[in-house]
Amino acid sequence: MMPARQNTSLVSLQYLLKGLASVGSDLFVENMELDARKIQENDVFIAVAGSQAHGLEYAEQAIQAGAVAIIYDPASGGNFLAERIKKQQRIELIELADLTAHISTIAARLYQHPSRELSVVGITGTNGKTSVSHFIAQALATKNSKLQPMSAVIGTLGWGPIGQLQETINTTPDAISVQRQLSTLLTEGVETVAMEVSSHGLDQGRVNAVDFKGAVFTNLSHDHLDYHQTLEAYGEAKLSLFKSPSLEFVVLNKDDEFSARIVQSLSERVRVYSFSRSEKLLEAENCWFISNEQLTSTGLMFDLSFNGQAARVQSALFGAFNIDNLVATMAVLTALGDSFEEAVSKVASINGVSGRMQQVAKNELSPTVVVDYAHTPEALRLALLSLRQHCEGMLTVIFGCGGNRDEAKRPLMGAIAADLADSVLLTSDNPRFESAADIAEQIKQGIPSGTECKVILDRAEAIQQTIAAAERIDIVLLAGKGHENYQQIQANKITFSDVAQAQEALKARLMSNAGDDECKR
């Protein structure tokens, strides 16, 4: 994989800003950056008006590093800062109102519109984005594919081909990084990119200039209301993906009422594929009908019909919601040209995704330990409902809630955990700048009085104690952090992995059992 920063040719600044802003004297630039610390010779510094500080406050650092021009937003004191810079420095300063909305377009021009030569499928929804994107990329990489296209993902777990992921900071990277990554993937021979598209990314215009060929809607439930304020605004952000003028097809979860709003917003030329369990849609065109679902201790199976064709699908994955994720993936495959049989064959061999209903390696004497990213009420509900069907013994959930995030969901998650699990243990998640004890108390407000609920704020200790005490037929769900390899406490990110902690606890349990057996002899 080539480095992410790869644009080596010089591009006219007038071309990059055509129709957006006027340039006094044309310059030829090599790259653009939002972070002054990343500026190199012949770069353009994009100075946005941030929530904490205006980018122009770092103008001198960018100039010293070799920036030849600065594009700035006049908002939040931008003009005042620009006038001060003009008195101290000789550099091209270009004013562009509502700058964040235009960065994607400028970056797409810089990288020669890479998404026009790729099949980019955007996946949005509260839950399932990571799983669906990875499932699509896995399926397109299978030997069963006629053309065997190279596929890649951009999302929470990183960007690049499966098995070669490079780290990302956000689910949907900033507007420049999106175009840069797409350009890199195109150069490397990738043909299809499955891209997670978050509500934040949509609202902030990070994908405004991405030419999406397809779009997938998984579901809409309570999340990110600390940012969007209302569920209505959250939905509107999601809706913008389906208004992309380049769309050729969409895949919709017809069992979620928000799909009806999406259909109303679509262009007539967009092909609509869907999936559902409603018998009303059994004979509907291009609808994947799901029935006869079974969850067992070894995986899941279900019946599927589509345009008069039928199949029984089996998978080693855990979680009823993974049925939806698998079917959404098959719908995308058929939209991209696969037959029904090819799509069914490909998903049969799909592996799980890190931190998404991930089963931690165990032995026959240990309980089943599952690590899942469920950090919203709906995700936790679905995880527990699914694991209940897989579980032959007691179902225990260990979870907390992130600090400095949506507080309204905390008691909701407490109520769900108390209702659906046999045992609830509250612990820390990423408390950030809040008290982990206070967060636990807010979660407990949703737990009915008299319900047994333990609190062990040290997450490692909570995991160790629970796994040590569990029976072989029990299931322990570690919810909330999933793939994350850290805990954020105050401003510090401390190395921490639920998977690693569970593995250590299972190993300690095995050694303890071996010691007990030796003593009995």
In a domain, 370, yes or no: yes
In a domain, 217, yes or no: yes
Range of the domain at 31: 11-108
If asked whether residues 390 and 313 sit together in one domain, one would say: no
How many other C-beta atoms are found inside a 10 Å radius of the C-beta of residue 424? 23
The CATH number assigned to the domain holding 436 equals 3.90.190.20
The CA distance from 366 to 21, in Å, is 64
If asked whether residues 204 and 322 sit together in one domain, one would say: yes
The CA distance from 320 to 330, in Å, is 16
If asked whether residues 88 and 218 sit together in one domain, one would say: no
If asked whether residues 219 and 155 sit together in one domain, one would say: yes
pLDDT on residue 452: 86
Range list of H helices, 188-277: 199-203, 225-228, 231-239, 258-265
In a domain, 353, yes or no: no
The DSSP 8-state label assigned to residue 432 in this structure reads: B
If asked whether residues 262 and 276 sit together in one domain, one would say: yes
In a domain, 521, yes or no: no
If asked whether residues 497 and 476 sit together in one domain, one would say: yes
In a domain, 352, yes or no: no
In a domain, 165, yes or no: yes
How many other C-beta atoms are found inside a 10 Å radius of the C-beta of residue 315? 20
pLDDT on residue 432: 97
Residues 6+ apart with CB under 8 A from 102: 20, 96, 205, 208
pLDDT on residue 230: 67
Domain end (from 315, 347, 379): 347
The CATH number assigned to the domain holding 70 equals 3.40.1390.10
Amino acid in position 329: T
pTM for the full predicted model = 0.82
- Asked whether the beta carbons of 389 and 295 are under 8 A apart, the reply is yes
If asked whether residues 219 and 180 sit together in one domain, one would say: yes
Provide the number of structural domains found in the chain.
3
Domain end (from 82, 108, 134): 108
If asked whether residues 199 and 220 sit together in one domain, one would say: yes
- Reported as a single tens digit per residue, the pLDDT across 91-102 is 999 999 999 999
If asked whether residues 204 and 282 sit together in one domain, one would say: yes
Q: Is the four-CA dihedral 386, 387, 393, 395 of positive or negative sign?
A: negative
The CA distance from 158 to 375, in Å, is 19
- Which residues of the chain carry a pLDDT beneath 70? 1-8, 142-149, 222-231, 233-235, 514-521
The CATH number assigned to the domain holding 210 equals 3.40.1190.10
pLDDT on residue 2: 41
With tokens 């999936």, the residue in question is 275
Of 321, 431, 436, the closest CA to residue 374 belongs to 321
In a domain, 428, yes or no: yes
If asked whether residues 36 and 60 sit together in one domain, one would say: yes
The DSSP 8-state label assigned to residue 49 in this structure reads: B
Phi-psi region of 510 (alpha: psi -120 to 50; beta: other; left: phi over 0): alpha
The β-bridge relationship of strands 192-196 and 158-160 is unpaired
pLDDT on residue 149: 54
The CA distance from 468 to 461, in Å, is 10
If asked whether residues 145 and 274 sit together in one domain, one would say: yes
If asked whether residues 252 and 363 sit together in one domain, one would say: no
The CA distance from 236 to 218, in Å, is 15
Domain end (from 74, 108, 142): 108
In a domain, 254, yes or no: yes
